[in-house]
Chains A and B, each alone.
With several copies, the nearest count.
Chain A
């Protein structure tokens, strides 16, 4: 019984977040467009040499996901803070990890959709050739996104309640994401055949371990973080 109630809470939070996002008309569309805009900015800042651009493709896609993801994570807790909705949320009975799980689920859905768009555009813009091992590449992408969302949601729960929220979240998050970023880009490059010196598998294992470790750690830590 208890886990059913918990699951209902998780779903309610995720549904509310996604509804709000969709209702703030084009909240999703514009985040995705922003991802594309960032890709172009990166292209312009790094170009115009075609080969240099192709080499930068993987990094650019990850950076675009990172930057637009940060904005989405911050939004997801800011919705609670506007007009003080966080207090009622904390006052509901039941375990607090459900709040984290709900937010996580909402953000995962949101970012998952965005990844689909940004990656497609990135592949086209930077003329990336799709390799034979593309399912593995998708796996790398998924693992990377999970890492991003887990840590992003966790840090947003703190940062968005501080006074310098816009700035604090990326400041806390980006350094923590360095391993995920390095692993994801290196693995992707290896899979794309651009980088012959590295073996993708080792990096994928690192990425998976990273996800598992931080998933557990953040769930355990959230209880303490969310407390008033």
Chain B
């Protein structure tokens, strides 16, 4: 609530590190893609379709990571009531939803030629979709609440309770399918692909951090504008 400690200098928003981040992300991403695509053998059943894995799987990991960030900063918000925590949680949720959507989209694009269907009611697929809907609910809630404080508290609560539910959702949906035939999801991975996967994950992580940072900076700039208006309105008190 105290304004005085809000020293925010738009010229020092870390744009430079931002540029390094995005450059690093793009370079690593391109390099790893080239490496992975040229170096990994065509897979037996799927042929070169398997290459989708290099984006699909890291995207899924980044989704989980984002939701974890939402959880941590939501707890922190309710504890310390710092506006920044709310903004970071919101940024992570937005970016996480994008990665979640990407996982779904890539998975479906992959599933069509491999399984012959866009969708199967498999445990992992269903829980990924439910996770996506929890994110959507979180973001919708933010859109429907006008008061900044109320929005922060509500979305923190929804973020935490949603995060608690994620493992339960995953567990329940997995048991739901347990004794039925599994779609041929290659969860066993040939070591030939692991290296490509790992470095791709690092590239994606850089992208994720960059996105969250950028989104957060935008949110902070919006706040800064409001706070500048504040000092003007209070007559330089």
User: Are A182 and B176 touching (Cβ within 8 A)?
Assistant: yes
The answer to whether residues A163 and B78 also contact, given A175-B137, A202-B175, A221-B157 and a CB cut-off of 8 A, is no
What does the 1/0 interface line of A85-111 toward B look like (CB < 8 Å)?
A: 000000000000000000000000000
Residues on A with beta carbons closer than 8 Å to the beta carbon of B175: 182, 186, 198, 202-203, 206
User: Are A25 and B144 touching (Cβ within 8 A)?
Assistant: yes
User: Are B118 and A127 touching (Cβ within 8 A)?
Assistant: yes
Q: Does A176 sit within 8 A of B, measured CB to CB?
A: yes
Q: Does B26 sit within 8 A of A, measured CB to CB?
A: no
Residue of B nearest to A172 (CB): B137
Within the complex, what minimum Cβ distance (angstroms) separates A119 from chain B? 14
How many residues on the A side are at the interface (Cβ–Cβ under 8 A)? 54
Q: Which of B108, B143, B172, B176 contacts A47 (CB 8 A)?
A: B176
Within the complex, what minimum Cβ distance (angstroms) separates B144 from chain A? 4
How many residues on the B side are at the interface (Cβ–Cβ under 8 A)? 42
The answer to whether residues A178 and B140 also contact, given A40-B133, A47-B176, A127-B117 and a CB cut-off of 8 A, is no
Residues on B with beta carbons closer than 8 Å to the beta carbon of A174: 133
The segment out of B54-62, B158-166, B206-214, B221-229 that lies at the interface is: B158-166
What does the 1/0 interface line of B109-151 toward A look like (CB < 8 Å)?
A: 0000000011111000010011001101100110111100010
Residue of B nearest to A170 (CB): B137
Residues of B contacting A: mostly: helix
Residues on B with beta carbons closer than 8 Å to the beta carbon of A36: 133
Q: How many Å lie between the Cα of A186 and that of B129 in the bound state? A: 20
The answer to whether residues A43 and B121 also contact, given A171-B137, A172-B137, A213-B164 and a CB cut-off of 8 A, is yes
Residues on A with beta carbons closer than 8 Å to the beta carbon of B171: 179, 206
What does the 1/0 interface line of B18-58 toward A look like (CB < 8 Å)?
A: 00000000000000000000000000000000000000000
Task: Please report B residues at the A interface, Cβ cutoff 8 Å.
Answer: 78, 108, 117-121, 126, 129-130, 133-134, 136-137, 140-141, 143-146, 150, 153-154, 156-158, 160-162, 164-165, 168-169, 171-173, 175-180
Task: Please report A residues at the B interface, Cβ cutoff 8 Å.
Answer: 24-26, 29-30, 33, 36-37, 40, 43-44, 47-50, 53, 124-127, 154-155, 158-159, 162-164, 168, 171-172, 174-176, 178-179, 182-183, 186, 197-198, 202-203, 206, 209-210, 213-214, 217-218, 221, 224-225, 227-228
- 3 smallest beta-carbon distances between A and B, as pairs: A179-B172, A25-B143, A175-B133
